[in-house]
Structure 1
């Protein structure tokens, strides 16, 4: 990937550059699915964390769990989840906006004092479009989009996933390389200077 292509993935619609990775092990939990889908989602977390060289954990010492994935049919269901409004500030107006936009997915991030990702909430309203997506594809897509703080416009034109000739859906190699580069220990956990994209580009070219 060129530095400009990388920069675009972390340049927000307001023109600011921001890239952040997780600052702690990821402890995921999934709501609203059967055990088979639960294992698929956790398997996606395991695969992407292994790719990034990042740790997973059973629990987060501060939050209990820090990566929550919710599957549901109607946005109003979120308002009935106990204490979710304490974890997601402005939950009620957020739900109203998502309903008005007829959205079927949304991600909310929380950050630590240094700006690294502290928690992520993934909301998936299973409409006819998401219902047609295989569970493995949906899980991998969501985990990839929550392993880093991407731009709010990233992947609007092209998915981070690609399809092999045998029909299998996999993470695009250039996105996989970018995730590995962002999690390189020598890279900062948070970057707001666009020159960060140059450093990422340089690291993608290095052998793993």
Structure 2
């Protein structure tokens, strides 16, 4: 990827650059699915965390679980989840906006004092359209999108996933996998608001390509 392409991945709609990665081990939990889908989601988290070289944990000392996936039929169901309004500020107006937009997904983040990702919440409204997406593809796509704080339009036109023509298997696009791995390089910062960060990411991708 070029530096400009990397910069675009972390640019907000207002033109500002905003990057963050997880600063603590990831402890996932999944609500609203059967055991088979549960294992697919957790397997996707493990796969992407392994790619990034980032640790996972059974529990988070503050939240118990710090990466929460919610699958449901209607947005209003979130208002009945105990204490969710304490984890996601302004939950009621958020639900109202998502209903009005007829949204099928939403991701919310919390950050620690170092501006690293502290927790993430993934909300998936299971419509007929969503049900048509293979569960493994849906899980991998959602995990990729919470492994880093991406820009608003990062995957608006191109999915982070690709299908192997030989086997039909769904995989993470190599260039996106490279960006995630570079982002979690131990010499890289946990957050950045300057576009020069994209140049540092590019340099690490070039270094990996040369090894």
Measured against the shorter chain, the TM-score band is: over 0.9
SS at match of 1:86: helix
- Give 1:82's aligned residue: 82
Give distance in 1, aligned partners of 2:12 and 2:18: 7
Give the structure 2 partner of residue 182 of structure 1.
183
Partner of 1:123: 123
**1:146 maps onto 2:146 in alignment:** yes
State the shift of 1:205 in Å: 1.6
Q: Deviations over 1:74-116 (max 9, x none)?
A: 0000000000001100000000000000000000000001100
Structure 2 distance, partners of 1:32, 1:94, is: 20
- Shift of residue 154 of structure 1? 1.0
Structure 1 residues 90-129: aligned runs within 5 Å: 90-129=90-129
Q: CA deviation at 1:153?
A: 1.3
Query: How far off its partner does 1:136 sit?
Result: 0.3
Please list, as runs of the form range in 1=range in 2, the aligned pairs for 1:4-83 lying within 5 A after superposition: 4-83=4-83
Give me the TM-score of the superposition, normalised by structure 2. 0.97
Runs of 4+ with deviation above 2 angstroms? none
Unaligned runs of 5+ in 2: none
| Count of residue pairs the alignment pairs up | 208
- Distance, in Å, in 2 between the alignment partners of 1:88 and 1:140 is 23
